[in-house]
Structures are given as C-alpha cells and as structure tokens.
Amino acid sequence: ERLARARTLLDEVGLADFASALPQALSGGMAQRAAIARALATEPAVLLLDEPFSALDAFTRAQLQDRLIAVWERHRPTLMLVTHDIEEALALADRVVIMRGRPGRIHSEMRLDSSRPRKRSTPSFQARKDRILDALNLTPA
C-alpha cells in the first residue's frame, strides 16, 4: 500500500520515470519535486515550505510553482510558504503576510481572492506587487 502511494505521488510530481533513481542522479528541480512528494506521503494537514524554489532557475521555478498548485488542488493541505520572491507569493498564495525588520515583525497582510492561475502581466497583479514594495519601503522597478 505504501509503495503504491509513493508511486502515485511520484507520478503527480512528474517523477514516475525516476522512481528508482539515486538522489545524485536528480536535478535540483527533480529533488524539490521528490521532497514535495515525500512530504505529502504522510497526508499532512499542513505543509511547510521554506524557500522551496530559491535555488532553481526561473524556468524550472515557474514549472514547479504550477506543479505545486496542481498537487495542492488534489490534496488540499494548508500550505505555509516562506519566500522573498514577491511575484511567487502573489502567484501562489491566498494570503500574503508581509514581514519587516529584525527581529522579524508582521507589518501587514494582503488577502488574494483571485482565481489561479494568476497572470503576472495583469494590471491587478502589478498593483498588488507595487503595494507590497511600498509596504517594504522599496521602489517598484
């Protein structure tokens, strides 16, 4: 039963063909997908993700963000994602908590009610990004 569950999860994250591969044979993106599958194996109510895509190139990061949304839609755990990437937060989150300073303090919160996938090129997406940059006292690029 556990083996069947593992195979199902590997298939969901796009690693069915690498079920018997050694860890050193996996790319960074593949290793991240394997980590997500491993975390989902216990059917958690909450999945904590700390900068899960930070070491990946932009193309792989975008693919894995889409894959994460698809996996979330099937399993529906609560996801808590820590990221320094504003666009990533806006693309993935239902709620963005903005922290500032040391020690880290919650500055503000933004609820996102738009459906997914969210297009980063829309005026509403850019307006939300600008609001976060403003909250962080950063100038939009």
Q: Are strands 78-82 and 95-100 parallel, antiparallel or unpaired?
A: unpaired
- Any idea what DSSP says for residue 40? H
**Which phi and psi (to 5°) does residue 98 adopt?**
-100, 125
pLDDT category of residue 140 using cuts at 50, 70 and 90:
low
d(CA 13, CA 111): 28
Amino acid at 107: H
* Tens-place pLDDT, residues 44-87: 999 999 998 888 888 888 888 988 898 889 889 999 999 999 99
For the entire predicted model, the pTM comes to 0.81
d(CA 98, CA 108): 5
Using alpha carbons, select from 132, 28, 36 the residue that is nearest to residue 85.
132
* Tens-place pLDDT, residues 84-134: 999 999 999 999 999 988 888 999 999 998 788 888 999 999 999 999 999
Instruction: For tokens 């806006």, name the residue.
Output: 90
d(CA 116, CA 69): 8
